Structure 1
Amino acid sequence: MAPGTVASLECKVSYQLTFEPGYNKVSCLQNGKWDKPLFTCTPVCGKRNPKGRPFISNGVEAKVGEFPWHVGIYRYSANGTLQQVCGGSLVNPSVVLTAAHCFWNEAYGRTMDKDNFRIAAGKYYRDWNIKDSEMQERQLSEIIVHENYRGRKLHFTSDIALVKLNVSVELTWAVLPVCVDWKDEYERFQLSNGSLGVTVGWGYTQNNEPSTELLTTNLPYVDFQTCWNTIPETFQSYVTRDKFCAGYQNGTSVCPGDSGGGIAFERDQKYYLRGIVSVGLVPEGDAKCFTDQYTAFTKVSDFLTWMEDNIR
């Protein structure tokens, strides 16, 4: 490049400055180097999208693209079709954070083969064969289940997993990562009794059928002791110290199909991932879940070091 050439710098769409450099132009020097450092850009995160078109399902309004970090996790069934089994949260363009139990074979005590799964970002309709306009399909390059996870045997302790995609997703208005509070600055404000977090999923509804469209609900944080004192004794052993509770006892809850999805709390118009849907009380009979009991979420802040070590 010829000395004296001036270049204008800006971040790509869906990216933002890591810090404000105070300039947006650089000049080429005689030695072929720029006169100022080139700044870096990072993906926009935690942006809840107001553009989507509204749908009403069981009285709960959801929007296409409203939660751009939510992904669907699909597994091949015996007949070769892909069925949605879990949700997850995009934490960067190539990594999804979800629950370990989504990939765990309880019978053999090990992680299932990555080739049995597919990921769909930008998806509103649950059915894999409905190709949403913003849908991006990806294969998995690696499943990293926490080394301490042993499933039901240890009451779903360390129920967390990272999924690395074979190809990074393209960031668009409908596909963006959620924010992760890597420095753990805001948890004490967000995880306080009554604070509302938002969850998203295709879980079972009150009709005992999985939702065909993406649903959302706001659930209040419940401190450990209140949760412990309220839930049935049979469920207490599953609310381990690496979890927190959220929900109501009035019929609003998360259910099978929501597993692995995140609960995110807002701060300064950004949503930060605080928990991963882990376990809930399972009723006897035909009902798929108790909608009047709290749900236990894996606490993301307990695993920040593990996440950083494995995302690199």
Structure 2
Amino acid sequence: MLKAAVLLLLHAAYVFGCGTPAVKPDVGRVVNGEDARPHSWPWQISLQVKHGSRYHHTCGGTLIGPRWVLTAGHCIWPGDVYRVVLGEHDMSQQEGSEQVRDILRIIVHPKWDIDHVANGNDLALLKLDKSPVLNDSVGAACLPEAEEILAHGTACYISGWGNLYTHGPMPDKLQQALLPVVEHSVCSRSDWWGINVKSTMICAGGDVVAGCNGDSGGPLNCLGGDGRWYVQGVTSFVSSRVCNEAKKPTVFTRVSAFTDWLSEVMLQY
């Protein structure tokens, strides 16, 4: 029954037109992080937390359905008030493409534990108060098939407004960077991440290019054989010393390990 529900959801995503941005991402020459082409990752959202009377960017996230955003469990703190901004590119100005939504419900994965990040399950689903208007600036990413494993070296892209480098400034404009996938057998070697990387995680990048603070919860965007973009990972953690440490690739929650849970939650609520 659940498998049928998963198929139904995936079918709904296709009808919804997932993973096909009107503005094509610039993926021809990205090695280190650079400004993304505006609205070329239309599923990228800014999760913002309220401090006083103002909201501030705290994490990234991915629109995966008409009212659903996928982010990281560690981005959510009990008692905090959040909102989601879609269609954002340049945080320093109002561009007219932004859509702001309140969050109706937050569902953090039941096995997520902030004290044991390496256990995995670093996921949360946010149900928006109302659907965004889908247009050239706002669209959904596709969800991968259950247990899909990407080959070593697969070219994927991280996107977000995270720090440009360790303790560095946060950019105004959305950044993107090429992060090739590092297969689990390599990433889990003792001189890499070792036992800190579980099979429910996916590693990508490392050394020169990596995710950094503020990228958390955002997508690892990977192009499928069907020409659509899939959110294969949710940004979870990097080295605590520096963001771009050799043999310490950025670690993501592997979305294909949680398709059943995502389907259950989205059908239940």
Q: TM-score, normalised by structure 2?
A: 0.84
Tell me the residue number matched to 1:161.
124
Question: Could you tell me how far 1:155 is from its partner in structure 2?
Answer: 2.8
Question: Could you tell me how far 1:225 is from its partner in structure 2?
Answer: 2.0
Tell me the residue number matched to 2:91.
126
Match of 1:102 among 75, 86, 94: 75
1:247 aligns with 2:247: no
- Distance across 2 between alignment mates of 1:52 and 1:64: 9
- Distance across 2 between alignment mates of 1:168 and 1:101: 24
Q: After superposition, where does 1:294-305 map in structure 2 within 5 Å? A: 294-305=249-260
Tell me the residue number matched to 2:157.
198
Q: After superposition, where does 1:77-96 map in structure 2 within 5 Å? A: 77=51, 79-96=52-69
Question: Could you tell me how far 1:156 is from its partner in structure 2?
Answer: 4.9
- Distance across 2 between alignment mates of 1:193 and 1:146: 27
- Distance across 2 between alignment mates of 1:230 and 1:209: 32
Measured against aligned partners, the alpha-carbon deviations of 1:90-137 in whole angstroms (never above 9, x if no partner) come to 001200011000003xxxxxxx236x101000000235xx32321000
Measured against aligned partners, the alpha-carbon deviations of 1:252-288 in whole angstroms (never above 9, x if no partner) come to 11101000001121122210111100011111xxx6x
Matched-pair contact (CA < 8 Å) for 1:254–1:291: no
Gaps of 5+ in 1: 1-17, 20-40, 105-111
- Distance across 1 between alignment mates of 2:202 and 2:245: 17
SS at structure 1 position matched to 2:107? strand
Match of 2:41 among 49, 52, 67: 67
- Distance across 2 between alignment mates of 1:64 and 1:149: 33
Gaps of 5+ in 2: 1-10
More relative contact order in 1 or in 2 (CA 8 Å, sep 6+)? 2
Tell me the residue number matched to 2:266.
311
SS at structure 1 position matched to 2:62? strand
Percent identity of equivalent pairs: 28
1:219 aligns with 2:172: no
- Distance across 1 between alignment mates of 2:23 and 2:132: 21
SS at structure 1 position matched to 2:252? strand
Question: Which residue identity lines up with residue 223 of structure 2 in the other structure?
Answer: E
The structure-2 alpha-carbon separation of the partners of 1:75 and 1:192, relative to structure 1 and needing over 3 Å to count, comes to same
Matched-pair contact (CA < 8 Å) for 2:144–2:255: no
Matched-pair contact (CA < 8 Å) for 2:112–2:121: yes
SS at structure 2 position matched to 1:96? strand
Match of 1:113 among 79, 83, 91: 79
Matched-pair contact (CA < 8 Å) for 1:151–1:157: no
1:290 aligns with 2:244: yes
Question: Could you tell me how far 1:244 is from its partner in structure 2?
Answer: 1.6
The structure-2 alpha-carbon separation of the partners of 1:246 and 1:47, relative to structure 1 and needing over 3 Å to count, comes to same
- Distance across 2 between alignment mates of 1:67 and 1:212: 16
Question: Which residue identity lines up with residue 182 of structure 2 in the other structure?
Answer: V
- Distance across 2 between alignment mates of 1:256 and 1:309: 30
SS at structure 2 position matched to 1:152? coil
Measured against aligned partners, the alpha-carbon deviations of 1:138-184 in whole angstroms (never above 9, x if no partner) come to 00000000111111235352001100000111111110000113456
The total of aligned residue pairs comes to: 249
